[in-house]
Amino acid sequence: MLRIARGPLRQTVKTSTNVLCKKKTAGLTSSLMSQRYFMTISENRGFHHSCKLSGSAELPLHDCSSEEQAILTQERAVDKVDVCIVGGGPSGLATAIKLKQLDSDEKLRVVVLEKSADIGSHIVSGVIMDPKALRELFPESEYYDENGQGIPLPPELVTKVVNEDFKYFMGNLSFPVPTPPQMTNKNKNYVGSLSQIASYLAERAEELGVEVYPGISVSDIIYSEDDQSVIGVATKDMGISRSGKPKETFERGMEFRARQTVFAEGCHGSLSKQVIKKFDLRKGRQNQSYGLGIKEVWEVQPENFRKGFISHTMGYPLSNNIYGGGFQYHFGDNLVTVGLVVGLDYKNPYISPYQEFQKLKQHPYYKNILRGGKCISYAARALNEGGLQAVPKLHFPGGLLVGASAGFMNVPKIKGTHTAMKSGMLAAEKLYEAISPLPSLDELEESENKQLLERPIDLESYESAFKNSWIYEELYSVRNMRPSFNSPFGTYGGMVYSGLDSFILKGRTPWTFGFHESDAAVTESADKYKPIEYPKPDGEITFDILTSVSRTGTYHNEDEKCHLRVPDQDLQRHAEAAYPKFKGIENRFCPAGVYEYIKDENSPLGVKFQINSQNCIHCKTCDIKVPTQDIDWVVPEGGGGPKYSLT
């Protein structure tokens, strides 16, 4: 049996952005080491704009030679663990940390697999941290004050909120709006970079004996022989060309067999959506609804910086029938996060969330802060907006959903990290109760027992713990606010109802509003709308999309199998299904310029569909919003994607 040595060493490498990143280099078996995707972004490396595909440019397995088929289907190496956690974000790391805190005799083997090259480099959030879950996870900390108050994080990672504002925009005018209780942050919560916070949590996890492996993409779920339970996951094969053939560098992925597999992939995870469908976890629950968060981090002029100040805005540039709002958070030394969240349930296919964000920055309220500053980072990520109604069943034979994979975002509060982490902690407690009495992996190995379990574990106790927790109470109290914006009265009606619910009703109503169909299904045909002419970027406050993507550090191997899948990888077929009705919606909903329709006189459509997969920043918007629902986002090779450090 293949085992991975514990306690891998770390070495420090320096990237072109002068951010110290930590990468594991020792303690990995040769099989796993060969899968690792170590890279340092070269200072003089150009930004790769496109990897062009037209028509079907990829061979299916049965068209490969017999030798190539044998290589691609060779048996995987197998490793065995007690708990395998897919995803190294706050919820996955909280799960791992809590498990090892409970595992005082160091009996359990807990592994975290993360697709990003470094923990935190795929994390995007505002972030305003509610310290509640962190304080529960670390009840004792050197970072608390003399009264035991504060947040258990190094002070250089967080800035306490000391002042806040809430505005409604009508054109260039702005009007103050009463701050709902859920959105009050002053002297309670903290601004920071969730990317950096996740990196810190990973270090804490390793100190407790958690095996944390970044740069490992998990591509497949391993099911039992009867196909009724999850018994583990498999990592993605490395070294498959865009044509679908194995390259000389090909390395087969490996399997992690686990007593429990925890899916902590974040919003709309590629494996989470599979188990939700397979085990019908949405039965009796609402469809999930999503938003797209787009943000930049700026280094502003000192006179424009107000440390600890935060602001949220609604209205302009979004019309009354589009849910969303802007924000600016001042943190660190002269750093300001500015961003826009747009609900993906908009109907007009000509809407571009990216361009709406550029318009937002031209509003005097934002422009006066950014003028004379320098944009140093860009990011975008889908987020859950369905609330309690859309939380699926959390358990199934062999595994669990935690964090944003389940959708614990408190939309009115504009926070989800604290609820995500708490869900992982609840899961860890129930996992420990179920697994700790079992024979250890070493005991099984000595007895030559190859079975990790006599029967699969289905942790119903985790769902019960959730329903009896403060997460459920918090989400229940605000369950009607986000769907209230989907009435015919739009934003105006939603603001009125949310104000009533926040200040008076406080969620104590006998009704629960439902959501609409999926965000893809509510999209209407282009012939109902006029194309939108967005202003050209000025290069100072507003930017073209490729300039923005260049600030993400995104990289994928040029000769890598495309991770943006359409049926049979036939791009022409997709174009024929999507373009006549929606007129290139893919061009507009993607915040990274991944999808293009290029004029082509030889095509009956007059255009050719192209996927620039190297631009992909892993936001998942395409998988969520495309009306034809034929784009499937799957993980690329490990380590590919953005290299965030301040997001």
CA separation (Å) from 70 to 221, 250, 256, 460? 21, 12, 22, 41
The one catalytic residue in 242, 252, 259, 381 is 381
CB atoms within 10 A of CB 119: 30
Report helix, strand or coil for 97.
Answer: helix
Known active-site residue 125:
yes
Cβ distance 419 to 471 under 8 Å? yes
Decide: 213 and 111 in contact? Cβ < 8 Å.
Answer: yes
Could you tell me if 480 and 386 are in contact, meaning their C-beta atoms sit under 8 angstroms apart? no
Q: Calculate ∠ Cα 142-146-151, nearest 5°.
A: 50
Active-site residue (options: 622, 628, 645, 647)? 622
For 14, phi and psi rounded to 5 degrees? -115, 125
Cβ 210 vs Cβ 100: under 8 Å: yes
Helix/strand/coil (H/E/C) assignment for every residue in 269-285: CCCHHHHHHHCCCCCCC
Backbone dihedral region for residue 235 (phi beyond 0: left; psi -120 to 50: alpha; all else: beta): beta
Answer yes or no: 381 catalytic: yes
Looking at residue 46, the DSSP 8-state letter turns out to be P
178's tokens: 């009463």
Contacts of 145 (CB under 8 A, 6+ apart): none
Catalytic annotation, pick one of 64, 377, 590, 647: 590
Q: Which of 95, 116, 417, 419 is catalytic?
A: 417
- Please indicate whether residue 21 is annotated as part of the active site: no
Q: Which candidate, 155, 151, 158, places its Cα nearest to that of 135? A: 151
622 is annotated as an active-site residue:
yes
The reply to whether 647 belongs to the active site is no
Is 417 in the active site?
yes
**Cβ of 510: how many Cβ atoms within 10 Å?**
4
Among the options 616, 621, 628, 645, which is catalytic? 616
Of the candidates 619, 628, 645, 647, the residue annotated as catalytic is 619
Catalytic residue among 15, 95, 121, 125: 125
Q: Active-site residue 619, yes or no?
A: yes
AA identity, residue 127: V
**Tokens (6 digits) for 466:** 């959730």
What residues are labeled active site?
125, 381, 417, 590, 616, 619, 622
